[in-house]
Amino acid sequence: MKLQKVLFKLIVPIIAVMLGLLIGGIIMLSSGYDPVLAYTALFNGIFSDSYFIGETVRQMTPLILSGIAVAFAFRTGLFNIGVEGQLLVGWLASVYVGIAVEGLPAFIHVPLAILAGAVAGAIWGFVPGLLKARFRVHEVITTIMLNYVALHVTNSIIRAYLLAPGERTESIQPSASLASPFLQEITNFSRMHYGFIVALLAAALMWYILWKTTAGYELRAVGFNEHASNYAGINVSKNIILSMCISGGFAGVAGAMQGLGTYQYMTINAAFTGVGFDGIAVALLGGNGAIGIVLAALLFGGLKIGALNMQAVAKVPPELITIVIALIIFFVASSYLVHWLRNRINKRGKI
Amino acid sequence: MDLMQILSIIIPTAIFAAAPLILTALGGVFSERSGVVNIGLEGLMMMGAFVGAVFTYFGETWGFGAASPWFSFVIAIILGALFSLLHAVASITFRADQVVSGVALNFLAAGLTIFLVKKIFEAGQTPYITHRIFRGDVPFLSEIPIIGPLLFTKAYITSYLAIALAFVVWFVIYKTSFGLRLRSVGEHPMAADTMGISVTKMRYVAVMLSGAFAGLGGAVYATSISGNFTHATIAGQGFMALAAMIFGKWHPIGALGAALFFGLAQSLSITGQQIPLLKEIPDVFLLISPYVLTILALAGFVGRADAPKAIGKPYEKGKR
């Protein structure tokens, strides 16, 4: 019985991914591209070279963290669409600490810069949390609005105080960097960095907080039923704020991965990075669980890196992958369809 | 520079910038009043802007001349409504989380539009269109002292269309039986169902109307403001329209007012450099003001905003 439940949990995401790729193939076919060639190139663009594997790991690192951020809030019944904004402020804070603090050894400087990102993200998450808890303002709207505030504010701070040639900040000190010549060398000089360890630790941390601590129990209880939690003596307001802060903190660390790992600086962003929004897809496909999120981030990270090779070989625009990801979200969200089909089959008394 | 001069810079720009927001926000009113959250306005608007730019361009090559933008509006309304069907099917029939489905719609529009642009034009953006929406003086009205030069001179006809539609939507939602039914399925779907109103059908119609309006909003943006379509053409206008709808308390006229106000904030950030007093204020405050104001409005500092009661919940027949 338990095995059946696990299988059923797996079946929805797997069907969703397959349907997404299938419709992606139909779109390619109907617009004159060769789907077999394209998907072969996609596959090769993920696995055929250690460079691609390194890039995939680099791409999935912030996706794991933004996925965790979305999932953590979701477990408390909150929809944090503000991961994008929290990521931006976290990115800026970590890069600032990376630039401004001098003379620290790496084993203090790196954690300090990551922590700065987490704190900045947590503060950005605190605002919608407080507004939800105190004024009952729906967090979806406030977090969307705060994304834009974060975009404009971080850009103007960089312009005013941290500007270096090329619409960006100075590079961070080497002591704050997550980049690793060793990892780059074994992956044929990709931009892979130690951030993936941080991301995996964060996934473990999320699992630990939610399932092994009293605070996590309360957070989940509020997510299941606010009124029952309140009746049982759980401080709902406190938990809403706490959840948004922790969620924002994870998002801030995702930004720190960009700043300390991939880029070593922060650019002036004309538009959103998209990593925060992709986090919604990752959390959803991963079923809001730690292991699921890592796997979903691996899939989406791989698809995004493979898309580049797909474009080079089969001339298919990489936006096709955005379409496929969107379709996967649709299908996972419409899982009622699968339930309905299963009930239909059950009613007939077979399987 | 006297006040009149300042106003004559700001106000026409505000009305101009507000038109796409008004239209899209009106679409949001339909959808959310029926109880379906529509975060997908951004994607629907993106689709509309894409259609607006592409079909105006095609219209020009087919010899439609100055009628090309209007031709593209019709297509944008139809395709916007069809595209929103995805959101309707997922969130109404398959009971998907409405916010998630809206997010998926945004992803899909972002991918699909640029995919098609690259396929059709083999470039990252569409060519610029030649026949934009024209600006003109409104006969007679532009002669009125003070108001005339501010509101009716060198104005875009689409702006008046948008403002007029806001009143039409108000009439439809508050003065017709269709509007009463629409509101009832958003407030108490079970009661509506008991009275013989098909909740599913009403919500489908409402979501498709939101798609049609947002599609038109996007097409108006492409043909009056941007002139072409790139990945950056629609970058947050849909969310700003969503904000306008909430700031306007889910009311068509409120949404109109809020959209005009956001248009004003946008126009200040564009024209601020020409105005002595505003030159001193950093850009960033004007850029973030619509978003901050929306948050303040929701927090109750600018009057209480209450959503329709049944919003966000899929309706399941027979469930208590």
CA–CA gap between residue A286 and residue A280 (Å, rounded): 10
- A334:B108 CB<8 A: no
B151 touches chain A (CB under 8 A): no
- Picking from B203, B312, B235, B279, the residue whose alpha carbon sits closest to that of residue B20 is B235
Angle CA(B303)–CA(B307)–CA(A70) in degrees, nearest 5? 105
ipTM for the whole complex: 0.86
**Domain-embedded: residue A174:** yes
Print the domain residue range for A105. 34-315
CA–CA gap between residue B82 and residue A314 (Å, rounded): 30
**Domain-embedded: residue A331:** no
Residue B276 has pLDDT above 70, yes or no: no
Residue B47 has pLDDT above 50, yes or no: yes
- A131:B298 CB<8 A: yes
B19 touches chain A (CB under 8 A): no
Q: What is the mean pLDDT of residues B294-316?
A: 74
Reduce the DSSP state of residue B303 to 3 states and report it. Answer: strand
Query: Helical H runs in chain A?
Result: 2-30, 35-47, 50-75, 83-100, 106-135, 139-157, 181-186, 195-212, 214-224, 226-231, 236-256, 275-285, 290-314, 319-333, 336-347
Closest residue to A333, CB basis, from B97, B235, B283: B97
Q: Cβ-count burial of A122 within 10 angstroms (0-12 exposed, 13-18 middle, 19+ buried)? A: buried
Closest residue to B107, CB basis, from A32, A141, A326: A326
Residue A110 CB partners (closer than 8 Å, separation 6+): A175, A176, A177, A178, A260
Q: What is the CATH number of the domain that holds A90?
A: 1.10.3470
Q: What is the mean pLDDT of residues B42-66?
A: 92
> What domain count does chain A have?
1
- B295:A135 CB<8 A: no
Residues composing chain B? 320
Window 35-54 of B: residues touching A by CB (8 A cutoff) are: 37, 39
Residue of B nearest to A341 (CA): B94
Window 184-213 of B: residues touching A by CB (8 A cutoff) are: none
How large is the angle between the packed helices A35-47 and A50-75, nearest 10 degrees? 90
Closest residue to B95, CB basis, from A32, A138, A336: A336
Q: Residues A274, A111: contact at Cβ < 8 Å?
A: no
Residue of B nearest to A159 (CA): B284
Residue B302 has pLDDT above 60, yes or no: no
Angle CA(B14)–CA(B15)–CA(B19) in degrees, nearest 5? 115
**Domain-embedded: residue A290:** yes
**Domain-embedded: residue A57:** yes
- A153:B284 CB<8 A: yes
B113 φ/ψ angles, rounded to the nearest 5 degrees: -65, -45
**Domain-embedded: residue A28:** no
Task: Output the average pLDDT for chain A.
Answer: 91
B61-118 tens-digit pLDDT: 988 888 899 999 999 999 999 999 999 999 999 888 898 899 899 999 999 999 999 9
On chain B, the residues whose CB falls within 8 A of the CB of A156 are: 282-284
B266 touches chain A (CB under 8 A): no
Question: Which residues share a beta bridge with A169?
Answer: A163
**Domain-embedded: residue A347:** no
- B282:A138 CB<8 A: no
Residue of A nearest to B286 (CA): A152
Question: Domains in chain B and their CATH numbers?
Answer: 3-125+164-298 (1.10.3470)
A257-305 tens-digit pLDDT: 999 999 999 999 888 888 998 999 899 889 899 999 999 999 999 999 9
pLDDT at res. B83: 96
A5-62 tens-digit pLDDT: 777 778 888 889 999 999 999 999 999 999 999 999 999 999 889 999 999 999 999 9
Residue A349 has pLDDT above 60, yes or no: no
pLDDT at res. A1: 57
- B242:A281 CB<8 A: no
Residue A166 has pLDDT above 80, yes or no: yes
**Domain-embedded: residue A9:** no
**Domain-embedded: residue A8:** no
Closest residue to A323, CB basis, from B90, B108, B291: B108
Residue A137 has pLDDT above 90, yes or no: no
B317 touches chain A (CB under 8 A): no
Q: How many angstroms separate the first and last alpha carbons of chain B?
A: 64
Q: What is the mean pLDDT of residues A214-234?
A: 92
Residue of B nearest to A140 (CA): B99
